[in-house]
Amino acid sequence: MDIDVTTMAGKKSGKVSISDTIFGLEPRADIIARMVRYQRAKARQGTHQTKGRSDVDKTGARMYRQKGTGGARHHSQAAPQFRGGGKAHGPQSRDHSHDLTKKFRALALRHALSAKAKDGSLMIMDELAAKDPKTAALRTNIGKLGIENALMIGGAELDANFKLAAQNIPNIDVLPVQGINVYDIIRRNTLVLTKAAVVALEERLK
């Protein structure tokens, strides 16, 4: 499959052939959803925790005598029903991550790339570079290209000026090719790849 290559000035710069086995699959939402769930679960800190009845600072002595009060029998003030008592069945620190095989993660990336290609939301640039780290100039350039909400993937090394200029533009993410992932692809409307990124992805996912 051939796709046009565009420069930052908005001019055509030839065509590039992209692999149908990476960009031409019929996207499966279930595979993409499983991968997004995997990524979001892995990103959770898991540090949420409440104090149980054994954690609160309360005396272990019986609150009052067993019989003759006309009330229910109670023992510890740390019981959940009392003010200042421990939380019953509250959250505890844990690891929320789960496993997906390396082959499945690669497959999910192919489906995410194919989804963007099928929707017409894939753009190929010759390179991501800027003469100066000026946010206003870059915003004007990408605005002329119709890019408002995008993930932009460069080669193994990002141009320092482009990275600095882009980091203050809302809804624009810039990553090196080794940082590409399903969640960031799906959360942005447009995927912008450089020619170097296409080559690297095809070598990685072939």
pLDDT of the residue at 11: 87
8 A C-beta contact, residue 26 and residue 114? yes
All structural domains of the chain, each given as residue ranges with its CATH number in brackets, are: 2-45+96-205 (3.40.1370.10), 50-90 (no CATH)
Helix (H, G, I), strand (E, B) or coil at 88: coil
pLDDT of the residue at 48: 94
pLDDT one-digit tens code per residue, 49-62? 999 999 999 988 88
pLDDT of the residue at 75: 87
* C-alpha span between 178 and 157 (Å, rounded): 9
Residue with tokens 């090719």: 177
Q: Which helix (H) or strand (E) holds 187?
A: helix 182-187
Is the pLDDT score of 198 beyond 90?
A: yes
pLDDT one-digit tens code per residue, 115-152? 999 999 999 999 999 999 999 999 999 999 999 999 99
* C-alpha span between 133 and 168 (Å, rounded): 11
Strand extents, DSSP E, the chain: 2-6, 12-17, 122-125, 150-153, 172-175, 190-194
pLDDT of the residue at 60: 81
DSSP 86: P
